[in-house]
Amino acid sequence: MIKLKELISEVKFTKPNFDYEWEEAERYPKLFPDKQTWLDAVRSGVEAKVDCGMDIQNTDMCETDVDLEPAKVDRVQKMIDSGNIELPIVMKHKDKYELIGGNTRLVALKKAGLPTKAWVFNYG
């Protein structure tokens, strides 16, 4: 079980690893035809609070009953144990929001009642 509440005062959010998240961005070849286009777009983002009212697509953050992949939960637990949580990435495109990477992190933060933050960038 994720122990986020125990570390609430110690958790720091860190900038995403954009190179690592390229694998997620490749699902949008019309928007990001190559890695450089992805990097140019995502680097312009900022850390921001995200919530269910934003109707973010491609995330289970606002679902009440979610089964997460154990390997991904382990990765998030390691982040928590270190005190540093890498920000999930959310794209704003035509006034709509879509999660590019970090579903497990957002779900874990929401379930623990902690601030749900992400790296949010505008596309287009």
The answer, yes or no, to whether residue 4 has pLDDT greater than 80, is no
What digits encode the pLDDT tens for the residues 73-117? 888 878 877 778 899 999 999 999 999 999 999 998 887 777 899
Under 8 Å between Cβ of 98 and 25: no
In 3D space, the residue among 79, 82, 84 whose CA is nearest the CA of residue 104 turns out to be 79
Average pLDDT, stretch 19-35?
96
The answer, yes or no, to whether residue 49 has pLDDT greater than 90, is yes
In 3D space, the residue among 55, 54, 59 whose CA is nearest the CA of residue 89 turns out to be 59
Beta bridge partners of 120: 46, 90
Q: Which CATH number fits domain 4-123: 3.40.1000, 1.25.40, 3.90.1530, 3.30.1360?
A: 3.90.1530
Residues in the chain: 124
**pTM for this model (two decimals):** 0.86
